[in-house]
Structure formats: C-alpha cells, structure tokens
Amino acid sequence: MAPQQQLEQQKRSSINKVAPEIIQTMAQVTADLKASGIENRALGRGDQGPGFTLTNARGEEICLTDLFSRGPMVVNIYRGRWCPTEMWSYTP
C-alpha cells in the first residue's frame, strides 16, 4: 500500500479512538498553521540547504555541508515519537 493510503487509513481508524473535541482542536490548529504561511517561509526548492553541525547517535559531530558534498542526499526532518502517525510504527 502507498504511504499516503496507509496514512489515510490510520487517520480514519484513529478518529474513532480520539475524543471529538481533540479532533476538532487539532483541525483548527492545522488550519491556523497553514494560514500563518509557514509552508511558504520554510526552505524549499531552489533554496540553499543550511550547513549546521549536529551530533549523531554515536555522539560524533556531523556537518551538513560535508554530507552534501559527498553526493546527492535526502534530508528527512521528522517530528519524533509524539506524532500519531509515527507512534503507530513504534508499536511492537
């Protein structure tokens, strides 16, 4: 199943488990966020990727610019475990 289809299915099944007022609040927050224009302010195609340095799981410092220079790269920024769509995958 395609990832988007999987998400749609999870979305439908989760709606039955969560209180309606929470669903409503989250829909409002999502709408407000969209209206804030954050998607247009975020970096996108044609922009230069930032070259910050962060540590990896072994505590080593990794500079993004160095990673880029090694070849084509996918950078995935994810929300973390709190995200409902990601928590499902953490269930054993």
Partner 1 sequence: MELHALKEELLKIEASGASLVAIAPEMPDKVAETTARHDLQFEVLNDQGNRGSRQFGLVFSLPESLHTYAGVGIDLPAYNGGERFELRLPSTDVIQPDGQIVYGFVDTDYTRRMEPSYILDALRLLCSGLRVYSRGRRQIWINPNEIESSYFV
Restricting to residues 17-36, name those near partner 1 by CB under 8 A: 25-26, 28-30, 32-34, 36
Are the CB atoms for 47 and 41 separated by under 8 Å? no
CA distance 88 to 92: 9
Q: Which has the closest alpha carbon to 30: 42, 18, 41, 39?
A: 39
Whichever of 20 and 42 has its CB closer to partner 1, that residue is 42
Q: How many chain residues touch partner 1 (CB under 8 A)?
A: 63
15 is an interface residue for partner 1 by CB under 8 A: no
55 is an interface residue for partner 1 by CB under 8 A: yes
